[in-house]
Chain A
Amino acid sequence: MKLLKTGRWITAVGLALLAGVYVRALAFTPVERFQGPAQKIFYVHVPAAWCAMLAMGLVGIGGILYLLLKDPRFDRFGEASAEVGTAFSMVMLTTGPIWAKPIWGTWWTWDARLTLTLFLFLLFLGYLLLRGAVTDPGLRARYSAVVGICGLVLLPFIHLSVYFFRTLHPEPIVLKPSAPSLPGPMLITLLFSFGVFTLLYVGFVVQRYALAELREQAEAAHA
């Protein structure tokens, strides 16, 4: 219960700071002259994509650790991270097309980056559906770990797809070998947003992990 309350507090602080991100992005960050106000979608789209990929990366690492150590805490963490990653994927896949329409002239295109991020979302859904379909806890944890590791393997392909394939999606401007190519005020807003989205990810996962723990305790008490 203490963990659940901690998660709630972190989430509450994260949501309050998210309001701060909105104010900073909308009122105190310059408008990009070529794309107009739609460019500001960047400050929610990119951090949401970061959190979705962070979530899947940690699901995969949790899966590896579960297979090595057979500790159910890693399986529980994977379950929590996958559900939270689904929420952030939804933000990424909603804000992306809304940004694409005024800039590219289309909501969606089946190029490598967009298709792989859709695949990431479907992998999250598949992971959660699998967990719902397998009743045996040991089998469920093993199968889930394998799907999580597949997701972890997918991540470098998503990040590097803009270099390997011809795509409408721009190349990374922050997570790249050279210095970020972004003016100071925009970079500060982006980094602030990265921090707040990561805090929200932590708050959500802590809550979701605590809920899974409580559910397992209740199931054990009934058995």
Chain B
Amino acid sequence: MIIIPDANSIISALVKKGKALELFEWNDLSKEIKFLAPENLSIEIRRNISLIVEKTGLLESEITVLLNKIEAQIEFIPTSKFKKFLAEAIKISPPNDFPYVALARFLQSDGKNPTILSNDKELLKSLSSRAIEGISLHELLFKLKLI
């Protein structure tokens, strides 16, 4: 199963008693999901680390440990691979989500069947009409029989 986690799905793993962390823990052991993401996502998450520190109340060193553990499971795809799908994605996806859609389109063109993981209802709704699969964390955990 190929999953493209959006920024929220990754950040949700830092919520106390949240389910996203369980997903990453389960997958670290089972390796059933292949997580793929646009390469700049990691850079953008790190750029917002002071805000993450502020909101979580955790130390920066602890956030780094958490992010390293989660990101170790994600393969960050170089922009050069899906650059040609950016223009189309800009046209068909919600304005703030097109990098994920561009990556999904690239993977589809390569014969793969990716699913975008997001808790953003707006994005999930828009994907259903664009022949790209989207799934919420709750739905994914249910599908994997983890809840």
| A and B assemble together | no
B interface residues (Cβ-Cβ under 8 A, vs A): none
- A residues with CB within 8 A of B: none
